[in-house]
């Protein structure tokens, strides 16, 4: 049986309560969750820590999630990191369509249940390991 290393997840989100909630839900499942309070910090942390997965909020001041995503995909060292976009239900539909075109790995709408978050994260890691 292979040794499973702890998966690092970076949550880029401008609401600290949301980062805490995600850390609580995923931490119970043994994931290591780091938070970045916005896009500028997020892209810096992605480059420094190379997480196994990024949870990305679209609506953030200064640098939004869309820009973070484009910067990730433009950089060969971060291009392969899967991204789950977390978006408010009332999100502009163009963005959601853009996500399909841009091939984000998954997206979940706020408010989401702990189970939805876990399902999405586990689905991505299953796809990656097969």
Check which CATH number belongs to the domain holding 117 and give it: 3.40.50.2300
Q: Where are the beta strands (DSSP E) in 58-110?
A: 83-88, 106-110
Count of domains forming the chain:
1
Residue 3 domain flag: no
pLDDT-derived band of residue 129, with 50, 70 and 90 as boundaries? confident
Specify the pLDDT at position 128.
82
* Burial annotation 11-39 (CB, 10 A radius, 16+ → b, else e): bbbbeeebbebbbebbeeeebbbebbebb
Q: Could you give the CA distance from residue 42 to residue 12 in angstroms, rounded to a whole number?
A: 6
Boundaries of domain holding 63 = 8-129
Specify the pLDDT at position 71.
95
Specify the pLDDT at position 104.
80
Residue 94 domain flag: yes
Residue 79 domain flag: yes
Residue 99 domain flag: yes
Residue 74 domain flag: yes
Specify the pLDDT at position 88.
75
Mean pLDDT value across residues 119-124 = 95
Q: Which residues pair with 11 in a beta bridge?
A: 35, 55
Residue 87 domain flag: yes
Q: pLDDT tens digit string along 19-53?
A: 999 999 999 999 999 999 999 999 999 999 999 99
Please check the confidence at residue 2 and state whether its pLDDT lies above 80.
no
Please check the confidence at residue 3 and state whether its pLDDT lies above 60.
no
Q: pLDDT tens digit string along 71-110?
A: 999 999 999 999 998 877 655 556 666 666 667 888 888 8
Residue 14 domain flag: yes
Specify the pLDDT at position 119.
96
pTM score, whole prediction:
0.89
Residue 1 domain flag: no
């Amino acid at each position: 049986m292979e040794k499973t290393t702890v998966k690092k997840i970076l949550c880029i989100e401008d609401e600290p309560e949301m980062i805490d909630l995600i850390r609580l839900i995923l931490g119970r499942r043994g994931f290591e969750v780091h938070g970045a309070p916005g896009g500028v910090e997020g892209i810096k942390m992605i480059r420094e820590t190379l997480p196994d997965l990024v949870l990305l909020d679209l609506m953030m001041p200064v640098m939004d999630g869309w820009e973070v995503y484009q910067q990730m995909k433009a950089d060969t060292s971060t291009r392969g990191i899967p991204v789950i976009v977390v978006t408010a239900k009332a999100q502009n539909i163009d963005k959601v369509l853009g996500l399909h075109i841009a091939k984000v790995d998954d997206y979940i709408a706020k408010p989401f249940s702990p189970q939805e978050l876990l399902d999405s994260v586990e689905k991505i890691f299953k796809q990656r390991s097969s």
